[in-house]
A and B are shown apart, each in its own frame.
Chain A
Amino acid sequence: GENVEQHPSTLSVQEGDSAVIKCTYSDSASNYFPWYKQELGKGPQLIIDIRSNVGEKKDQRIAVTLNKTAKHFSLHITETQPEDSAVYFCAAIINFGNEKLTFGTGTRLTIIP
């Protein structure tokens, strides 16, 4: 099955700086890669996703890049703000009738004011 590794497990950055979280996946057939943000006491919420036919996607201060050859993808948050503090999860899925989304182990991001 798919295996997703996520690094780092914790990350602290000064407000206004950029944050980068990296994930690698094992199955080259994976073709959909969402990122989720989880705030304290809440369920994870999708913040951005990318499909395997795209190399990069941006949404305001958030971007995701995908390198299919190396089987890794990254989340980039620019101009970080205190409300970006949360736990972030990457995930990968093979969408050929397989409904199983495999998650990374999470990154706790802390923005230092």
Chain B
Amino acid sequence: NAGVTQTPKFQVLKTGQSMTLQCAQDMNHNSMYWYRQDPGMGLRLIYYSASEGTTDKGEVPNGYNVSRLNKREFSLRLESAAPSQTSVYFCANRDREHSPLHFGNGTRLTVT
């Protein structure tokens, strides 16, 4: 039972390249989230999906797109990477109101 699985663990991109960060859950939870973590800034919400087929912007959505094609998977896409997107990205899920977030172990992305 893996919980929330993120791939890849590490990635280096050049400015302007694109990539997709993958997230999959085996917990059958409705809501899924993408956060970025930067030093001194905590965790900031990029996008979330309250249920399969729906997505909404979070606090810092610019430069990102997401896709929730099924209940299990929620991907984050960077169409044209910028150095400001160097960060650690976390995917999380949640079952219902007043329940905790369950996080994956993160993807460390460096954009040069």
Taking beta carbons and an 8 Å cutoff, which residues of A are in contact with B? Answer: 1, 6, 9, 32, 34, 36, 41-46, 49, 51, 89, 95, 99-106
Contact call A95/B98, Cβ cutoff below 8 A: yes
User: Closest A-chain residue to B101, C-beta based?
Assistant: A101
Contact call A44/B43, Cβ cutoff below 8 A: yes
Bound-state CA distance A13–B26 (Å) is 38
Given contacts A51-B98, A95-B98, A100-B58, contact A43 B105 (CB under 8 A): yes
Q: How far is the CB of B109 from chain A (nearest CB, A)?
A: 15
Q: Which of B31, B100, B105 contacts A34 (CB 8 A)?
A: B100
Q: Which of B44, B59, B106 contacts A43 (CB 8 A)?
A: B106
Given contacts A9-B40, A46-B100, A89-B42, contact A99 B50 (CB under 8 A): yes
Contact call B45/A105, Cβ cutoff below 8 A: no
Contact call B42/A104, Cβ cutoff below 8 A: yes
- For A34, the chain B residues whose CB sits under 8 A away are 100-101
Q: How far is the CB of B89 from chain A (nearest CB, A)?
A: 10
- For A89, the chain B residues whose CB sits under 8 A away are 42-43
User: Closest A-chain residue to B48, C-beta based?
Assistant: A99
User: Closest B-chain residue to A46, C-beta based?
Assistant: B100
Contact call B97/A105, Cβ cutoff below 8 A: no
Q: How far is the CB of B4 from chain A (nearest CB, A)?
A: 8
- For A45, the chain B residues whose CB sits under 8 A away are 103
Q: Which of A32, A42, A95, A101 contacts B45 (CB 8 A)?
A: A101
Bound-state CA distance A102–B33 (Å) is 12
Contact call A49/B31, Cβ cutoff below 8 A: no
Bound-state CA distance A46–B105 (Å) is 14
User: Closest A-chain residue to B9, C-beta based?
Assistant: A41
